[in-house]
Amino acid sequence: MAVINNDICVACGGCIELCPVAAIRMIDDKVNINIEKCVDCKICVKVCPVNAPYVLEEAPKE
Ligand code: SF4
Ligand code: SF4
């Protein structure tokens, strides 16, 4: 699954438009990925101008 580093993201909206499953949305001015929808295509990772999204190989352990 992909996650976004909101410390880096400049909220350009590019990844929101290009995500094929509409998993990315803006919540309280922060870009957020719905990990239940994400299909790991990595398009957001490729299109982001500041490399804010990254892919986690597995869910973080509690
Ligand atoms: S990896 Fe693909 S499916 Fe997942 S949020 Fe990024 S663009 Fe959307
Ligand atoms: S493409 Fe990058 S900078 Fe733009 S909204 Fe997505 S994560 Fe943020």
Give residue limits of the domains in the chain.
2-55
Nearest atom (ligand 1) to Cα of 18: 7
Please tell me whether residue 25 adopts helix, strand or coil conformation. strand
Q: Which two tokens stand for residue 46?
A: 């490729």
Q: Is any atom of ligand 2 closer than 6 Å to the C-beta of 33?
A: no
Question: Residue 50 in contact with residue 8, Cβ under 8 Å?
Answer: yes
Residue with tokens 């957001």, as numbered in its chain: 44
What is the CATH number that goes with domain 2-55? 3.30.70.20
Nearest-CA residue for atom 3 of ligand 1: 38
DSSP 8-state symbol, 26: E
The predicted model scores a pTM of 0.88
CA of 7 to the centre of ligand 2 (A): 11
Q: Which two tokens stand for residue 58?
A: 């597995």
CA dihedral 15, 23, 1, 47 (to 10 degrees): -10
Q: Going residue by residue through the chain, which has 62 residues, state the pLDDT in tens, using 9 for 90 and above.
A: 899 999 999 999 999 999 999 999 999 999 999 999 999 999 999 999 999 999 987 655 55
Q: Is any atom of ligand 2 closer than 6 Å to the C-beta of 39?
A: no
